Amino acid sequence: MPRLHVNIDHVATVRQARRDTQPDPVLAAGIAELAGANGITVHLREDRRHIQDRDVRILRDTVKTLLNLEMALTDEMIEHAIQVKPDQVCVVPESREELTTEGGLDADGCLDHLSDTIAQLKAAGIEVSVFIDPEPNAIEAAAKAGADYVELHTGSYANAKGQNRDNELKRLETSAHYAHELGLRVNAGHGLDYENVMPIAQLPHIEELNIGYAIIARSIYVGLDQAVREMQDRILSAAPPDEA
């Protein structure tokens, strides 16, 4: 069954609403780990709208499971990652105007830069994932660039309804198979919630699910511990009986 990586960006979003010290994403990461999260994900954005440099530095020391840093392909971020040494980096496209990451990286369009970045990060002992749309050319480019993982963008699936959702699920399944065939490991994320996560957890080859907004939103009502446990239960309930 896929492992759950909890994205805690939106804990920092609330803190930054007042530029104060609470709620602290570092504390939230600890609670998420105690509740069973298998990893902690943060996106250090260029505009520092939620996660701050200090958060990533402290999380590097305190996270006991696995720290996954989402970042754009910029010199500043590459330098930051090499200094902090998260366990994993996920390269994402970024634009200042977007509310959240909108699409996968155009891995083919930045192949040289991406290959060079991946080589630098891997030389620093960091595993690298590339966040891509579930498209063959993006998977091929990620493989060519030397990525360890692709993270398949589940946003179109999450936003689709009825037959369109089934089609998006099929596209993710085909992509997971193809990425695996090319020697890539496969993660998935974006827009996943308590209602739509199970079919994704049942896809072949998926190792990690990155889930943020749904868990942090629910935590306002039920607490973070319960919100993480409920998501883990959903993922486990998607497992065939011998794996649960």
Point out which residues bind ligand PXP (CB under 6 A): 7, 9, 43, 70, 90, 92, 100-101, 131, 151, 189-192, 210-214
Catalytic residue among 5, 10, 33, 43: 43
Name the one residue in this structure whose structure tokens are 């699910």: 209
Residue 27 Cβ vs ligand PXP, minimum distance, rounded to whole Å: 19
Catalytic position from the list 70, 127, 151, 208: 70
Q: Which is nearer to ligand PXP, 76 or 244 (CB)?
A: 76
- Could you tell me which residues come within 8 angstroms of residue 132 by beta carbon, excluding any fewer than 6 positions away? 104, 105, 107, 138, 139, 141, 142, 150, 151, 152, 153
Q: Which is nearer to ligand PXP, 148 or 244 (CB)?
A: 148
Q: Are 40 and 33 in contact (CB under 8 A)?
A: yes
Half-sphere exposure of 49 (CA within 13 A, CB side): 13
Question: Cβ(194)–Cβ(217) under 8 Å?
Answer: no
Minimum separation from the CB atom of position 161 to ligand PXP (A):
17
User: To the nearest whole angstrom, how small is the minimum distance from the Cβ of residue 141 to ligand PXP?
Assistant: 16
Q: Is 70 a catalytic residue?
A: yes
Those residues whose C-beta lies under 8 Å from the C-beta of residue 17, and which sit 6 or more positions away, are none
For ligand PXP, the closer of residues 98 and 244 by Cβ is 98
- Tell me which residues are annotated as active site: 43, 70, 190
